[in-house]
Structure 1
Amino acid sequence: MPRPRVHDLDDALDAAERLAVEGGPSAVTLRAVAAATEMSNGAIYHAFGSRGGLVGRAWLRAAHRFLDLQQESVEDALGRGPVDAVVAAADTPAVFAERFPQSSRLLLTVRRDELLGSEIPDDVATELSRLDSVLVELFVRLALALWGRRDGRAVEVIEACVVGLPTGLLLHAQRKPDDAMRRRLEAAVRAVLTLDPPPPGKRHDKTTKGSR
């Protein structure tokens, strides 16, 4: 069987995204993707190996798009200062929704564990774990740029700015982020960053008097 062309694979990933967003995780089947793309079941199976491989690759493509865009935005903003870089990272969901609306809806409205289930190919699972690490590394990098710290409490403040505030101000609005929403987000991030994070937590001493 000839290997599917690259644009056919993108068509299959586009269809998987659309089916997941419009019909939920259970709507994504090899048969449904084949019907949406006019690819054969065999061609899709040959390309992705299983439903888990298909939805895993769809999720990875969307996640790569988001993280690449976020990294690019942070790099561009760092020259203006670390606070601007955090603002740029926080604004990425809004930019992402404009540039890749279907991928944005996939990441923001469909739970990853429900979409992927338990039958995730090893290579997809490895790549998902690596992408999770990339996001944490970004938090650490921004904390170091702002405060010269990489401890958990400093990183938690960055996470609140980059994940928590956008989720509350942009994503829960259930509509496309507009300029006013994005300005409120920027103001909130800048307000949070006017305060230094709490001092690093001390290691809890579990030693009791009776054990000394």
Structure 2
Amino acid sequence: MTTPEHDRPATRTGRAVGRPRRHDRGALLDHARDLWVERGTAGVTIRALSSASGVSNGAIYNAFTSRDGLLAAVWTREAAHFLDFQYAAVDRARAEDGSAADTVVAAALAPARYAASNERAAHLLLAVRPDDLVTPELTDEQRHELLELRKVLGELIVRLADAQWGRRDRNAVTLIRYCIVELPGALLLRGGGLLDPVAHHALEHAVRGIVSAPPPPRG
């Protein structure tokens, strides 16, 4: 059975993530994502995925070329969906006449909002960075997909820094990265978890505090 188009997410560049195979690729990626969240990276093996999905080891290797390729495919699918959600949250905050600070808060809280409908994916994206997944085992295409998604996130960070302070230098970009990448991971992956309103409150007010003053002067 070929994979439906909606199981092959496109990044904001319009490029499809992955190719259709002669099985339900989307279901395989769902199983692999669940194994990853439940058992950690070490728990995502070809054998474990074969057992969970009923698809043969050989078919899984043919689909993803390696275990590292499988991990990259899971992450890129989830990240592509999430980045569209995050961009939409920022655009919605702006359309509602929000301040520049409101758009940064919207981006920071996007993982928590996303978790309301897709908690496993949100958890995975906060816990794992694309650089963690770039290995020599990846094909050029798989490596390119990871780097493209990192680029899309970087573009959002620059856009938010420019809107907040009219600056795109390293200090401004670093502060926005703290707000929408580092702080959500630190606050939402501990305590009450992704759906914890106390963590959401702390995250919002930490972000507002950071953006309330301009970054240090350009070095």
TM-score range, shorter chain: 0.7 to 0.9
**Aligned equivalents of 1:137, 1:186: Cα separation in 2:** 22
Distance in 1 separating the partners of 2:47 and 2:158 = 43
2:122 pairs, out of 87, 91, 104, with 104
User: Aligned partners of 1:115 and 1:28: how far apart in 2?
Assistant: 13
Deviation of the 1:24 alpha carbon: 2.5
Structure 1, residues 146-183: CA drift from partner, whole Å, max 9, x if none? 11111111111211211232233322336233223212
SS at 1:172 equivalent: coil
SS at match of 2:34: helix
Which residue number corresponds to residue 152 of structure 1? 170
Name the CA distance, whole Å, in 1 between partners of 2:201 and 2:124. Answer: 25
**Bigger helix share:** 1
Q: In the superposition, relative to structure 1, how do residues 169 and 50 fare at CA in structure 2: closer, same or farther (>3 Å)? A: closer
Q: Cα 1:114–1:86, aligned 2, differ >3 Å: closer, same or farther?
A: closer
Match of 2:139 among 121, 124, 127: 121
RMSD, matched Cα: 2.2
2:69 match: 53
Say whether the 8 Å CA contact 2:104–2:179 is kept in structure 1. Answer: yes
Shift of 1:11: 1.0
1:91 match: 109
Q: 1:118 to 1:172 in 2, by over 3 A?
A: farther
Counting only pairs closer than 5 Å after superposition, residues 174-189 of structure 1 correspond to structure 2 as 175-189=193-207
The 1-side partners of 2:133 and 2:181 are apart by 21
The unaligned stretches of length 5 or more in structure 2 are 8-23
Residue pair 2:130, 2:146 contacting (<8 A) in 1 also: no
Question: Aligned with 1:196: secondary structure?
Answer: coil
What is the aligned-residue identity percentage? Answer: 45
3-state SS of paired residue (2:115): helix
In structure 1, runs of 5+ residues without a counterpart are 202-212
For residue 14 of structure 1, the aligned residue among 1, 9, 30 is 30
Using the alignment, how far apart are the partners of 2:63 and 2:145 within structure 1? 17
TM-score normalized by structure 2? 0.80
- C-alpha change, 1:154 and 1:113, in structure 2 (3 Å) is closer
Task: Count matched residues.
Answer: 199
Match of 1:41 in 2: 57
Equivalence map 1:17-28=2 (5 Å): 17-28=33-44
CA contact (8 A) 1:21 1:110 kept: no
Larger Rg: 1
Q: CA 1:174/1:113 → structure 2, altered by over 3 Å: closer, same or farther?
A: farther
Q: How far apart in 1 are the matches of 2:2 and 2:56?
A: 10
Match of 1:173, SS state, is coil
CA contact (8 A) 1:62 1:103 kept: yes
Residue 112 of structure 1, CA deviation: 5.6
Shift of 1:94: 0.7
**Quick one: distance in 1 between partners of 2:210 and 2:131?**
31
Pairing partner for 1:82 from 100, 121, 126 = 100
Is the 1:21–1:109 Cα contact (8 Å) retained in structure 2?
no
